[in-house]
Chain A
Amino acid sequence: MGEIMEIKDLIIDDRQRGVFRVHRSSLTSDELFQREREFIFSRCWIYLGHESEVESPGDYRRRTVAGRPLFFTRGRDGEVRVFLNSCPHRGALICRRDEGNAEVLQCFYHAWSFNMDGDLIGVPDQEAYGPHFDRGELGLREPPRVESYRGFYFVSFNPHVEDLVSYLADAREYLDLIVDQTEAGMRVVRGSNKYTMKANWKLLVENSLDGYHLVPTHQTYLDYISGLGSDDSGQTASARIVGKARALGNGHCVIESPVRSGRPIAHWHPLFGEEAREPIAQVRQELVEKYGEERAFRMADTSRNLIIYPNLVINDIMANTVRYFEPLAPDNMEVTAWHLAPRDESDAMLATRLDSFLTFLGPGGFATPDDVEALESCQIGFRATETEWSDISRGMLRPAKSTDELQMRGFWRQWHANMQGFTHTNVQDGPAVEVEAEAELALASDN
């Protein structure tokens, strides 16, 4: 691709007239893709995995995060550690299975071996290196920063990144709403959805919290759900609430909406079967006792789609999903989705929860394949380069509803700031605050 536009011109953000447009080269250009790797994926916090994926000492999981091969493991001291998956000798992958348990990992190439703390503990024929050879210098490298929030682990390749809790900004509360559903904690269910979309990763950000597309795109799902009957238990208050969209700061965003079908925690729907009615009512009652009616209502009777900037989606809808996407090229990404469930759930409720997931979600569900089609369709449409701009203005001049696009603007404003080298910006619509926030823009410290 030839000359690219100036980065500052890639977005039109006219807060007075309520016009927001993104230049489509942001979704197709190789140069901008490379710049994202450096200015976003090498500087932000990026999701790694969940604590429950390495339950016992020696458990490990292999991942690719921001392009880097990594693995994480639980040490004998119970701590989670993350290592770059590359032999300090001459590069080979140390961890060559997606998951497992080990006390020692040996590089197959020249047989150096490492314990699960990353220490180099064995070098065949070590004398050949002479007396100054220092094993201590040649242990496995760790990413510069690793932090977790309530079981969710993130890494950053930027040593100067702000701490994770302040990075998460107002998104924290939404993680709390999920984790607080159970005292026993959440765990990742076995089995994951791994699929590829030939589309730019930012389209999946938009799509993951796009309330506007639900009715037109997912008609077959909505027909199926309404064909099963509706909830007559009196919990339908949620159907009356108007969903809303929020930009949460730092590019994180959320839509909060009424329940369309059911929620394992804790909103019954005929889909779940009569026998689940009582247990779900009981879970809801426990939430009321613990958190009061207002928060319990929110946890049980409303749904949320959350983006943790830049590339993590956490859905708290008919199931709890964690969806991570790894950009592969401007028009390609690999998606991995996991299912979260309370650790202490009964077998029957777990089965109900799993079933609920499958109606809508996953590459074999009644909705996700159509999202794949929508995104790939957009990406092909971008080849019509004379249509230069995408419009993301919906709801810009009113308090944003969940069918509006404020949440996408919040994401794009953060993206735009990052791509220009700023770490923070005003992600909200309001024209008044804009001037003030511009003044606060700070250059990323270095790196």
Chain B
Amino acid sequence: MTTASQPTLREQVEDFLFKEAALLDDWRLDDWVDLFTEDGRYVVPTTDLPDGDPRRDLVFIDDDITRLRARAVRLNSRHAHREYPWSRTRRFISNVRVEETGDGELAVSSNVLVYRFRAGEGAPYVGSVDYILRRDGGAFRIAHRRAVLDLEALSWHGAVSIIF
């Protein structure tokens, strides 16, 4: 039963995704990486193969927690030149769907629009981000985050230099 004081599961997940988006827009990358489980993974397939499997196909990004931490270190340094100085980003998350898969995990899908502005230019990244979330006490942790771009090619940004 839903009451004003008891958010639905979807609202709880949305709150989590909104907080994640704020961390990313604020470039608080270490806090963002802490949202992941130790066996967590972050995957971005190529634009021509949205269902690409990182074990068999070429993808843009396939980070385990070690490489994810290294990615944060890199982006926090002054030597990730595509993001130094950092771009400005603004994320819009919608169409959130949540499914309980048993064993305490949630399969979440969302639509994502990220505007990125830098060096006099601005353009969007558009796509979907699917998660497997694990409950951790009252909070959620990200066990899997798969970000699929709708773009046909990286024609505007030339790279996936931010976290999409």
Contacts and interface: CB of A to CB of B under 8 A. Distances in A.
State the main secondary structure of chain B at its contact with A: loop
Given A194-B153, A196-B153, A376 B60 contact: no
Contacts of A357: 58
B60 A364 contact: yes
B81 A350 contact: no
Contacts of B155: 195-196, 334
A369 interface: yes
Interface stretch (A34-42, A185-193, A383-391, A412-420): A185-193
B116 interface: no
A351 B155 CA distance: 28
B52 interface: yes
Given A354-B58, A358-B62, A366-B74, A372 B82 contact: yes
- Among A194, A220, A357, the one with the most B-chain Cβ atoms within 10 Å of its Cβ is A220
A161 to B, nearest CB: 30
Nearest to B160: A364
Contacts of A223: 73
A235 interface: no
B70 A192 contact: no
B135 interface: no
B81 A364 contact: no
B45 to A, nearest CB: 7
Contact of B44 (A189, A190, A364, A376): A364
Contacts of B128: none
B9 interface: no
A224 B70 contact: yes
Given A189-B57, A191-B45, A220-B80, A227 B62 contact: no
Given A190-B52, A191-B49, A219-B79, A196 B154 contact: yes
B26 interface: no
A194 B161 CA distance: 14
Contacts of B159: 195, 363-364, 368-369, 372
A191 B70 contact: no
A223 B47 CA distance: 29
Task: Determine the interface band of chain A, counting residues with CB < 8 A from chain B.
Answer: 35 or more
Interface string A317-354: 00000000000000000100011000000010011001
A366 B119 CA distance: 21
B8 interface: no
B38 interface: no
Interface residues of B, number: 37
Nearest to B50: A191
B121 to A, nearest CB: 9
A355 interface: yes
Contacts of B137: none
A327 B54 CA distance: 30
A189 B58 CA distance: 7
A370 interface: yes
A201 to B, nearest CB: 14
B48 interface: yes
A383 to B, nearest CB: 12
A190 B56 contact: yes
Contacts of A374: 81
A227 B74 CA distance: 12
A219 B79 CA distance: 7
A350 B152 CA distance: 26
Given A355-B62, A363-B60, A370-B81, A197 B158 contact: yes
B70 A354 contact: no
Contact of A370 (B46, B70, B80): B80
Nearest to B76: A220
Contact of A350 (B44, B56, B74, B161): B56
A385 B80 CA distance: 28
B156 to A, nearest CB: 7
B48 A362 contact: no
- Among A192, A357, A358, A364, the one with the most B-chain Cβ atoms within 10 Å of its Cβ is A364
Given A224-B70, A376-B158, A191 B46 contact: yes
B57 A369 contact: no
B12 interface: no
Interface string A231-251: 000000000000000000000
Contact of B158 (A196, A347, A351): A196
Interface in A257-296: none
Interface of A: 98, 189-198, 217, 219-220, 223-224, 227, 334, 338-339, 347, 350-351, 354-355, 357-359, 362-364, 366, 368-370, 372-374, 376
Closest 6 CB pairs of A and B: A364-B60, A191-B58, A194-B153, A369-B159, A195-B154, A369-B82
12 contacts: A190-B52, A191-B59, A196-B154, A197-B158, A220-B79, A347-B56, A359-B67, A363-B159, A369-B159, A372-B82, A372-B158, A374-B81
